[in-house]
Amino acid sequence: MDLVDVFPENPFHPTVKYIAINQTPFSVPWGKNTVRLGKGFNSRQGEQDEFFMKSSAFKDVDNTPLQYRKCQITAIRDESGSSIAYASENASFAISGAVGKGFLSASVKGSLEKSAHNNRNASNISVRADHICGQIEMLRVPQLDTDAVRLLNTSSDPIIEFQKIYGDFYVAGYRVGAVNETMISGELANKTFFDAKRAVAEGKVAWAKVHKSINELSASASNEGLIRVDAFDSLMDFHSTFSVQTDDDIVRMGDVAAKNKQRAMTIAARATETLWKDFSLGYEDTVYQDVVDHLCVRGLVTELLLAPFATLREYQYLLARRRINMR
């Protein structure tokens, strides 16, 4: 298998296999599930298989010091139009989508990206806020486990056998922050609809006028096709998803959009406050796995950083020494 065999149909959507054959580090959306540092990931697994490996290639991971570094980055996008453009701008979708249940089931963010992709021929309205508080990475990479070293030294096909047991990537770090998004998708997304939604979201127009604007669209909505609402906020553990079929649903849609957009506008302050108040993480701190586990449960780990085993010095050294000894 080479690059030509796995080259993605859409260059904006690199597949996991394409990334794997390049041995390039990448990140994927994550949710509230805990995942251990050094956990192996197999890019060759099928979508219905478990991507995380049961056996760890590293030893003494729990005692490995990690470093949190602050890097405040906030991105807020308020968009209306075809979700083809939305999906093409979001390259991480293809990765999380290709990974399948292993990540999308744990990540509401990934689920929304999948929804955007599935509705790419429909119109959508989206307000999305991403805030990165910082990043957690290893201060030093732990040594390979004794069994992993033995496999690399003695197996007849060490690279393939290693991947079968430990994977070809491992969790090398975590991106800490918060994500908020409201997405309205469907065949109907004209300017009147968009303006009505914005009016509700901003809360600057009288409710009577807003309700009139949206209710006038209800008949048209049923004729044009189903409208779907997806909204979530990782800090509040809030997730709302429903189909709009009645006038009451449309009013509910306006209320959900308004409240969640208000949360989006304060995402940076809320994330920073939570990180300091609950975890005492400031500019730079040393942490361990137990802290990361609590960050995951709290919804503050928004992405996993995956790195290839092939870039590890110990891994490279063992294979190189073996090749020399076999000459």
- 44, 49, 27, 187: which is closest to 94 by C-alpha? 27
pLDDT of residue 240: 87
Residue 214 clears pLDDT 70, i.e. is over it: no
pLDDT of residue 288: 92
The confidence band for 93, taking pLDDT boundaries of 50, 70 and 90, is: very low
Residue 155 structure tokens = 């197996």
> Does residue 228 belong to any structural domain of this protein?
no
> Does residue 36 belong to any structural domain of this protein?
yes
All residues at 6 or more sequence positions from 317 whose CB lies less than 8 Å from its CB, including other chains: none
What residue numbers bound the domain in which 15 lies?
A: 3-122+130-179+268-325
HSE value, Cβ hemisphere, 13 Å, CA-based, for 93? 22
Mean pLDDT of the chain: 73
Residue 194 clears pLDDT 50, i.e. is over it: no
Distance of alpha carbon 58 from alpha carbon 40, whole angstroms: 9
3-state secondary structure of 70: strand
Distance of alpha carbon 43 from alpha carbon 49, whole angstroms: 11
pLDDT average, residue stretch 190-197: 49
pLDDT average, residue stretch 134-143: 90
3-state secondary structure of 181: strand
pLDDT average, residue stretch 148-163: 93
| C-alpha of 64 from chain center | 25
pLDDT average, residue stretch 262-274: 92
> Does residue 278 belong to any structural domain of this protein?
yes
pLDDT of residue 154: 92
All residues at 6 or more sequence positions from 98 whose CB lies less than 8 Å from its CB, including other chains: 15, 16, 17, 47
CB 207, CB 233: distance < 8 Å:
no
Please give the residue that has the higher pLDDT: either 250 or 114. Answer: 250
Per-residue pLDDT tens for 26-59?
A: 777 777 788 889 999 887 765 555 678 889 999 9
> Does residue 238 belong to any structural domain of this protein?
no
Distance of alpha carbon 272 from alpha carbon 43, whole angstroms: 34
Q: Of 81-95, 200-214, 233-247, 253-267, where does the model show the most confidence? A: 253-267
pLDDT average, residue stretch 242-249: 78
In this structure, what is the dihedral angle of CA atoms 148, 6, 15, 174, given to the nearest 10 degrees? 30
Per-residue pLDDT tens for 276-325?
A: 999 998 888 999 999 999 998 888 998 888 899 999 999 999 999 988 87
pLDDT of residue 295: 93
Hunting for tokens 């080259």 — which residue is that?
A: 7
171-203 per-residue burial string, b: 16 or more CB within 10 A, e: under 16:
bbbbbbbbbbbbbbbbebbeeebbebbbbbbee
> Does residue 251 belong to any structural domain of this protein?
no
DSSP 140-167: SPPPBPHHHHHHHHH-SSHHHHHHHHH-
Residue 157 clears pLDDT 60, i.e. is over it: yes
What is the domain count for the chain?
1
pLDDT average, residue stretch 107-117: 54
Residue 4 clears pLDDT 50, i.e. is over it: no
pLDDT of residue 144: 95
> Does residue 262 belong to any structural domain of this protein?
no
Distance of alpha carbon 151 from alpha carbon 161, whole angstroms: 8
pLDDT of residue 273: 92
pLDDT of residue 216: 40
- 71, 39, 13: which is closest to 169 by C-alpha? 39
> Does residue 81 belong to any structural domain of this protein?
yes
pLDDT of residue 121: 46
> Does residue 10 belong to any structural domain of this protein?
yes
